[in-house]
Structure 1
């Protein structure tokens, strides 16, 4: 064990964020911390780093262990170049190298004891240099920079001239280069393209230290982690396995808890009915039995109902069905000055397709979407929309939102035909309630702006959705809701995303923007990974023989069918037979149980009827015993008293029998 969190609690104001959170991480273990936005993931990382103090609990770090942290937001400021900034991490080795070079010069002119002394120092420093892998530090720096998506031309750029995302990548590179025993990463994939994310996955999998990562990238978590720590309603639960294993186990746990809760509620209701029935018999012994049962019922440790998070609810449905040909693009080109993004792109999109455009950062993916939407002018090319096509656009920068408007006004001004109640209901479906609807767009978070944009998208009733990074700023639960909405959407979708899990769940086709052109894959992301080497080889082969490859870029030119005959598995007759047998057995057991319950209910009713008859007869006897002609007749008096004694004995038997039958439910 290299790190342990023991009973960590943290409150901000009156809001409890973490309560008695405990877990541990072993050496070289890769763990994820997951939870909805606001669950306390980043807070927990800051407590581990000592940037925040817990209200209760302690962080235990293995003696002598080093720890490094990449926060979500970096404010890196430096006059260094990228390469120089990375080298600051290796300053100790650089200093050691300089000492060794200086010693080499000194030894040229030294003699005798002085030389021996210098040689001894030289040997010791060389050993330290080799131990610290000094010969490889330059290649390490280059490898990490290239892995994080920087070209050699970028190495000489000043850090202060970089974008926020690029600075975050430099901060990540410095952290990886420093090789602490524990790495804490808060959303490390946010500013990485798909190639860089894949590189980071491999780096972390092979990393000799422990890693704790907070990320909404589910594909990344599946690849990297072997433990998931879930923060939910201030508590922590640990699940062994990757993200997909966590999802499965979480569902099993939730189902088991819900079943346990429902079973207990059913038993409580049953016991309450038994108690009420025993009291209704209005006999001293039945009342005592009722009181005894009530005491036992009050001592039961009640199972809490499993908590569920409030989720946004929405569906997408086009108002008008488009023609089969939705979008046709021919000869599309775009450059910014000397920077050529792409040239002579051509592709078609048909009704019902869910098409993802992927590619490295800066290749022009978002530009393609903006050109289609008329927000950016193309240098060349033709864009044709099909019959009855209506576009709904979601942009990652949310420029379709007016920052000075309230959420309510944003929807009302866009859709003036909607009444106030409808607008409030729509916003409530996206988790904006009460006074939240009167907040200004500029005052809400990126995730909240994303939800407002999704609300507008839903109301648009468009039949062609064009989405630019729709999962940015969404937590995992919200991503899954969006995936479900898109998978049930009967219209057409064209989107740009670096969320591989999202692509895998929603895409029916992938277009990879690479080397200024598009490669087409008829399938989801897993299919893309499988066919990528084959298709790129086909593309590169064609590019060698024929310099113009744009004519081959129409839909399907480099695509392969997503399914083959080999993927159609033959039926497993043995397992089917077992299944049929099991079903028969289950059916037979169900029939026997149904018959048992019918008999129990019948016996219960007969018992209750007999109890009622005897109690009615006892009431008649009590009335008879008050009459003079009875209590003056000794033989009649004895006869009635004997009958009542027999009735009381029988009632005791019947009450026990009734209680036994009632308890068998």
Structure 2
């Protein structure tokens, strides 16, 4: 066991008006399995980069271990997988590689295939195996679940649970519960560490938030009373000062020294009271600063003139000679919230493309209602460029509503001035979801909408869908989200 000490850590990006971290202090044990959580844009990945020494910062980070970051950058994707692993961990015995791959249920034949021929899920597992072959390192694992289906997430969660000595960034609640024993959270005003898994941390936060909200009205009254008292004290202090000078200038036959001394004591006392009142106001105000803003979202979906929106009957989809999926049959009716599930590569995105109207080869029967309006959220965010105002105009959505939704999803106003290409992965995904919420549609289709999105925003979106009950077809690997939202499950 060794310790990582963070003392007075202060950091801001060049050109930024505000510090991302300011005089942050905490201590980590290198034997912990540490879950790292916080809303998008709070600095989780930045903190990992600071540990790696990628940026200059104020304060001090001291550790007796080296740091390794996941995901690794693979420069030559065409290389065989065994060569990619040896490039990351040279001279590691083959039996050790096979031990890790077996735990992750990756077959031996992938070692002798080009790395770029592996699925995204296989690539993730291979790079995780290489990561844990590193010795004497504290591992920084940044969102490994984004390319893993539900079954793979369970498997990787159990794999990580058998390991130790890492920080894991993930927004998947069930995944975190499987494999962490401490939570490091970036809150609105501080960074804190708590023992336990994510559910333990969340329950504690809920209790704390409930306490703060219950005290809120009382605190506001106290603050108002203290403010009025401070104002009266300040007025009294000024009156004492005027009395002193008035008495001293009156010319009456009194002990001016005594009056001046008494006035000075009263002045000092009033200033002391005023200072204590201001301190009390500040202390009470601080109690309200860590409650996360999670205002309700709204969705207005168009009603379709028929109950049935679309139907697939014995549908098989092809890419050239290759059959992607076969004999699919389901119906989309108004009010359905359908989770499209299956392993990576089972054809989920292909089914979505068919329903969206993209040109795709298929057999069987596919019917879609005429004049059906669909709002689509893609997996891909790399196309987002430019500012939010132009994006709203180009997509024909109401700019005020669009930005209001983003504010509720924890966008600060300064984000509105930035180019979208500089947004975090989670912030880009929120742009696509906010756009979809602004669009008038009969059917919403969301393809992995929660990738990179923070836990609190996920819960906001869940509450939205449960309240407004839109017709929705979605692909999502967050098992808790699926259980909470889906009225039907179609497994490919």
What TM-score do you get using the length of structure 1 for normalisation? 0.60
Q: How big is each residue's C-alpha offset from its partner over 1:225-244, in whole Å with a ceiling of 9 and x where there is no partner?
A: 12111112462112222112
Partner Cα separation in structure 2 for residue 23 and residue 437 of structure 1:
32
- CA contact 1:4–1:60 (8 Å) conserved in 2: yes
- Name whichever of 76-85 and 333-342 sits farther off: 76-85
Deviation at 1:271, TM superposition (A): 5.2
Aligned to 1:10: 10
Aligned to 2:405: 429
Pairs within 5 Å for 1:171-210? 171-178=127-134, 180=136, 182-207=138-163, 209-210=164-165
- CA contact 1:5–1:21 (8 Å) conserved in 2: no
Partner Cα separation in structure 1 for residue 67 and residue 59 of structure 2:
23
Specify every segment of 5 or more residues in structure 2 that has no aligned partner in the other structure, as ranges.
244-262
Aligned to 2:326: 343
Q: Do residues 85 (structure 1) and 84 (structure 2) align?
A: yes
Deviation at 1:27, TM superposition (A): 5.6
User: Secondary structure of the residue that 2:171 maps to in structure 1?
Assistant: coil
Match of 2:102 among 143, 148, 164: 143
Deviation at 1:151, TM superposition (A): 4.8
Larger radius of gyration: 1
C-alpha distance 314-273 of structure 1, shift in aligned 2 (>3 A)? closer
- CA contact 1:73–1:168 (8 Å) conserved in 2: no
C-alpha distance 25-370 of structure 1, shift in aligned 2 (>3 A)? same
Partner Cα separation in structure 2 for residue 493 and residue 438 of structure 1:
32
Q: Do residues 47 (structure 1) and 50 (structure 2) align?
A: yes
Higher relative contact order (CA 8 A, sep 6+): 2
Match of 2:37 among 20, 34, 39: 34
The alignment of Structure 1 onto Structure 2 pairs a total of residues equal to 455
Match of 2:389 among 380, 384, 408: 408
Which structure features the higher share of helix residues? 1
- CA contact 1:321–1:388 (8 Å) conserved in 2: no
Partner Cα separation in structure 2 for residue 271 and residue 328 of structure 1:
65
Pairs within 5 Å for 1:381-396? 381-385=364-368, 389-396=372-379
C-alpha distance 72-485 of structure 1, shift in aligned 2 (>3 A)? farther
C-alpha distance 19-153 of structure 1, shift in aligned 2 (>3 A)? same
- CA contact 1:357–1:510 (8 Å) conserved in 2: yes
Partner Cα separation in structure 2 for residue 344 and residue 201 of structure 1:
32
- CA contact 2:68–2:139 (8 Å) conserved in 1: yes
Deviation at 1:467, TM superposition (A): 0.8
Deviation at 1:451, TM superposition (A): 2.9
- CA contact 1:317–1:463 (8 Å) conserved in 2: no
Aligned to 1:576: none
Match of 1:211 among 163, 166, 176: 166
Aligned to 2:70: 71
Specify every segment of 5 or more residues in structure 1 that has no aligned partner in the other structure, as ranges.
95-133, 514-665
Partner Cα separation in structure 2 for residue 270 and residue 42 of structure 1:
43
Match of 1:453 among 407, 428, 432: 432
C-alpha distance 337-143 of structure 1, shift in aligned 2 (>3 A)? farther
Partner Cα separation in structure 1 for residue 416 and residue 219 of structure 2:
40
Deviation at 1:336, TM superposition (A): 2.1
C-alpha distance 337-365 of structure 1, shift in aligned 2 (>3 A)? same
Q: Do residues 155 (structure 1) and 155 (structure 2) align?
A: no
Partner Cα separation in structure 2 for residue 327 and residue 222 of structure 1:
37
C-alpha distance 489-463 of structure 1, shift in aligned 2 (>3 A)? farther
- CA contact 1:396–1:469 (8 Å) conserved in 2: yes
Partner Cα separation in structure 2 for residue 329 and residue 263 of structure 1:
58
Deviation at 1:374, TM superposition (A): 0.8
Match of 2:317 among 334, 339, 360: 334
- CA contact 2:72–2:127 (8 Å) conserved in 1: no
C-alpha distance 67-512 of structure 1, shift in aligned 2 (>3 A)? farther
Q: How big is each residue's C-alpha offset from its partner over 1:460-503, in whole Å with a ceiling of 9 and x where there is no partner?
A: 23232111011123222322222222122232111011122322
Partner Cα separation in structure 1 for residue 453 and residue 190 of structure 2:
22
Match of 1:230 among 185, 188, 196: 185
Pairs within 5 Å for 1:226-305? 226-233=181-188, 235-258=190-213, 262-270=217-225, 295-300=272-277, 301=279, 302-303=282-283, 304-305=285-286
User: Secondary structure of the residue that 2:20 maps to in structure 1?
Assistant: strand
Q: How big is each residue's C-alpha offset from its partner over 1:135-183, in whole Å with a ceiling of 9 and x where there is no partner?
A: x536415415x53xx5555332223666887655433221123355633
